């Protein structure tokens, strides 16, 4: 499932615009409104990172009023495609560039490589409805739920019964669309490169959509970024194998690598960034930028 719609947010006014990806025409524009020139940085990509990217853009507008950072979601794949096609200045990715994407980039930008900047970490939480009695799950069990022909399809297969408000015993599997970095990471970490994902999952366009659906569906389970938790859902502790100690997703367990499904978050530029963009990226990894990482529910870089 792919998505050709995205939302665009500007730190200048907080306006959200629904638009098609084909409407992007350029990047790094000067805005002459008010008689002065404002440098515009187009920042496109990961839905996992979009809340954080918006918070950074909002804060940076106060740090440097001469710069407007415009944030667009749509998924990591959307950001990669935009960077390849010169439709953005910075691509947000909750995964690394893939080999084919690097080759496509090099074909469009001879002599350049995508420049990678690690900007924080995200613990990928497995969410269930707040009334679900389950408190932990193993990677082995998750694999059997999400893998094509996996043996678990019912809550009773997991030893769970009597979920308040649930309609029947079937597990409702919630996932992300396949251009999402979260989808790619979950598939690799849980299902494995040699297995296919189960058909029939409810594939959501955004990280928030996953959590919202689980909040309304007592017999659902799904994965999303730790920072998208709400009181209507709860995240499960995760163990590598059934019977092993299960670990809760936190800043500490992400940094000490005891939580098994956490990943770094990246920003990419088309080769070396311009001085204005480099200044913004330097601010993001500064104490001020990393404080926002923590405040928005993600995991800051270790000092």
What CA–CA distance (Å, rounded) separates 23 from 268? 21
Of the candidates 186, 234, 171, 179, which has an alpha carbon nearest to the alpha carbon of residue 205? 179
pLDDT value at position 36?
A: 58
**Which residue do the tokens 């187009």 mark?**
42
6 pLDDT above the threshold of 90 = no
Q: What is the tens place of the pLDDT at every residue in 36-92? A: 578 999 999 998 899 999 999 999 999 999 999 999 998 999 999 999 999 999 999
Q: What is the tens place of the pLDDT at every residue in 13-28? A: 333 333 333 233 345 5
What CA–CA distance (Å, rounded) separates 240 from 267? 29
pLDDT value at position 28?
A: 52
Asked whether the beta carbons of 107 and 100 are under 8 A apart, the reply is no
Equal CATH topology for 5-121+265-295 and 123-262: yes
Domain residues of the chain, as ranges?
5-121+265-295, 123-262
- Across the range 237-249, mean pLDDT stands at 95
- Across the range 139-147, mean pLDDT stands at 97
Asked whether the beta carbons of 26 and 86 are under 8 A apart, the reply is yes
**Which residue do the tokens 């990928």 mark?**
124
* Average pLDDT across the chain, whole number: 88
Of the candidates 40, 5, 11, which has an alpha carbon nearest to the alpha carbon of residue 23? 5
> What sign has the CA pseudo-torsion 202, 206, 207, 208?
negative
Alpha helix (H) residue ranges in the chain: 50-63, 76-84, 99-108, 139-146, 181-186, 207-215, 251-255, 275-284, 287-295
Least confident interval from 9-23, 79-93, 107-121, 207-221? 9-23
pLDDT value at position 7?
A: 39
CATH code matching the domain that covers 5-121+265-295, chosen among 3.40.190.10, 3.60.21.10, 3.40.50.720, 3.40.50.1820: 3.40.190.10
175 pLDDT above the threshold of 60 = yes
193 pLDDT above the threshold of 70 = yes
> What sign has the CA pseudo-torsion 195, 222, 127, 208?
positive
pLDDT value at position 112?
A: 95
Tokens coding 186: 């979950």
- Across the range 169-178, mean pLDDT stands at 95
DSSP class of residue 241 equals: S
pLDDT value at position 178?
A: 87
What CA–CA distance (Å, rounded) separates 264 from 299? 9
Dihedral, CA of residue 35, residue 59, residue 234 and residue 124, to nearest 10: 90
CATH code matching the domain that covers 123-262, chosen among 1.10.540.10, 3.40.50.300, 3.40.50.80, 3.40.190.10: 3.40.190.10
* Residue 274 pLDDT class (50, 70, 90 cuts): very high
Q: Where are the beta strands (DSSP E) in the chain?
A: 5-10, 16-20, 30-31, 38-45, 67-72, 90-93, 114-129, 136-138, 172-176, 202-204, 220-225, 233-235, 237-239, 262-270
In this prediction the pTM is 0.78
């Amino acid at each position: 499932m792919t998505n050709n719609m995205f939302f665009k947010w500007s730190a200048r006014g907080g306006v959200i615009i629904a638009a098609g990806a084909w409407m992007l025409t350029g990047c790094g524009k000067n805005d002459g409104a008010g008689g002065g020139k404002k440098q515009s940085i187009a920042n496109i990509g990961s839905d996992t990172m979009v809340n954080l990217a918006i918070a950074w853009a909002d804060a940076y507008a106060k740090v440097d009023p001469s710069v407007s950072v415009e944030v667009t979601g749509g998924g990591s794949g959307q950001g990669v495609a935009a960077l390849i096609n010169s439709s953005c200045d910075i691509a947000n990715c909750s995964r690394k560039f893939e080999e084919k994407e690097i080759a496509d980039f090099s074909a469009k930008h001879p002599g350049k490589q995508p420049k990678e900047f690690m900007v924080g970490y995200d613990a990928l939480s497995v969410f269930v409805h707040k009334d679900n009695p389950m408190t932990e799950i193993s990677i082995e069990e998750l694999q059997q739920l999400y893998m094509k022909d996996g043996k678990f399809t019912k809550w009773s297969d997991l030893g769970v019964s009597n979920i308040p408000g649930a309609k029947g015993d079937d597990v409702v599997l919630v996932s992300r669309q396949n251009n999402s970095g979260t989808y790619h990471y979950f598939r690799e970490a849980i299902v494995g490169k040699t297995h296919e994902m189960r058909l029939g999952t409810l594939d959501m366009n955004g990280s928030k959509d996953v959590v919202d659906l689980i909040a309304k569906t007592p017999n659902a389970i799904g994965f999303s970024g730790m920072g998208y938790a709400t009181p209507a859902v709860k995240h499960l502790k995760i163990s590598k194998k059934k019977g092993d100690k299960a670990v809760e997703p936190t800043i500490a367990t992400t940094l000490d690598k005891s939580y098994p499904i956490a990943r770094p978050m990246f920003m990419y530029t088309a080769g070396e960034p311009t001085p204005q963009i480099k200044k913004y990226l330097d601010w993001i990894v500064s104490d001020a930028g990393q404080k926002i990482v923590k405040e928005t529910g993600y995991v800051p870089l270790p000092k």
